[in-house]
Amino acid sequence: DTGVSQDPRHKITKRGQNVTFRCDPISEHNRLYWYRQTLGQGPEFLTYFQNEAQLEKSRLLSDRFSAERPKGSFSTLEIQRTEQGDSAMYLCASTSNLGVSGGYTFGSGTRLTVV
Amino acid sequence: AQSVTQPDIHITVSEGASLELRCNYSYGATPYLFWYVQSPGQGLQLLLKYFSGDTLVQGIKGFEAEFKRSQSSFNLRKPSVHWSDAAEYFCAVGNTGTASKLTFGTGTRLQVTL
């Protein structure tokens, strides 16, 4: 297992376009998280899945954002009608059913630039 | 609500010198505390974590951190810094609720001079 994979690594899009990112967690991890990191800040929690169920969403996750994890394996994060304020690094992490005590494994992130 | 404060935005140390990065947290119960390191354009790598027990925890790459409940602190230390340690360091507190979310500080950028 090579850890948490995120694709693409970089995405440049025009304002108003839709974008989709993918995250492949560690295979035996049933918990998956999305975080957003803007320049000069620490990562901020967006949403959390346990298996295929999305159990919590942050207020940061506006109605333009949607995340799925259809089979409890990989996850996608879609942003519709992108805005310049969406420019950030989007990080995915996974952990086992131990939760935070088991430790998070982060992917390398997808850097989104909205022009 | 839980929160983390890293008071130093940027620190510069000479290679071979000792390092201490400060972290203060706010959390109602016994916290789960973490230090992560991030190289430019990369994800986060876990350096060490504290849940309970011995308040001095050892991590990877020669780092250690000490949990001080009375000061609500979890400072990261390294006795001798290497040039490859230059990166951004994040302290985080994890809750014990269902989601096990992490709340991060704003980070400290470490520069190492030769």
Question: Does pLDDT of A102 surpass 90?
Answer: no
Q: What is the pLDDT of residue B99?
A: 61
Q: What is the pLDDT of residue A103?
A: 75
Chain B residue at shortest CA distance from A6? B43
CB < 8 Å to A35, chain B: 102
Residue A1 banded pLDDT, cuts 50, 70, 90: low
Comparing A72 with A38, the larger pLDDT belongs to A38
Reported as type and span, the H/E element at residue B58 is strand B56-58
Amino acid at A30: N
Of A55, A100, A108, the CB nearest to B43: A108
Residues A111/A85/B6/B70 CA torsion (nearest 10 deg) = -110
Lowest mean pLDDT among A12-16, B6-10, B86-90, B99-103: B99-103
Residue B40 banded pLDDT, cuts 50, 70, 90: confident
Of A45, A91, A106, the CB nearest to B101: A45
Residue B58 banded pLDDT, cuts 50, 70, 90: very high
The string of DSSP codes covering B68-83 is EGGGTEEEEEESS--G
The string of DSSP codes covering A29-55 is --EEEEEEE-TTS--EEEEEEETTEEE
Q: What is the pLDDT of residue B52?
A: 82
Any CB–CB contact under 8 A between A44 and chain B?
Answer: yes
Amino acid at A66: S
Question: Are B3 and B104 contacting, i.e. CB atoms less than 8 angstroms apart?
Answer: no
The answer to whether the CB atoms of A103 and B46 lie below 8 A apart is yes
Q: What is the pLDDT of residue A61?
A: 87
A51 token code pair: 């298996």
CB < 8 Å to B36, chain A: 106
**d(CA A18, nearest CA chain B) in Å:** 23
Question: Are A80 and B12 contacting, i.e. CB atoms less than 8 angstroms apart?
Answer: no
Question: Does pLDDT of A2 surpass 90?
Answer: no
Among the listed residues B54, B78, B48, the one whose alpha carbon sits nearest the alpha carbon of residue B67: B54
Any CB–CB contact under 8 A between A8 and chain B?
Answer: no
Of B32, B34, B101, the CB nearest to A48: B101
The answer to whether the CB atoms of B49 and A103 lie below 8 A apart is yes
Cis amide prior to A8 (ω within 30 degrees): yes
Q: What is the pLDDT of residue B15?
A: 97
With a pLDDT cut of 70, the percent of chain A lying above it is 95
Q: What is the pLDDT of residue B97?
A: 66
A85 token code pair: 């304020």
Q: What is the pLDDT of residue B19?
A: 97
**d(CA A28, nearest CA chain B) in Å:** 17
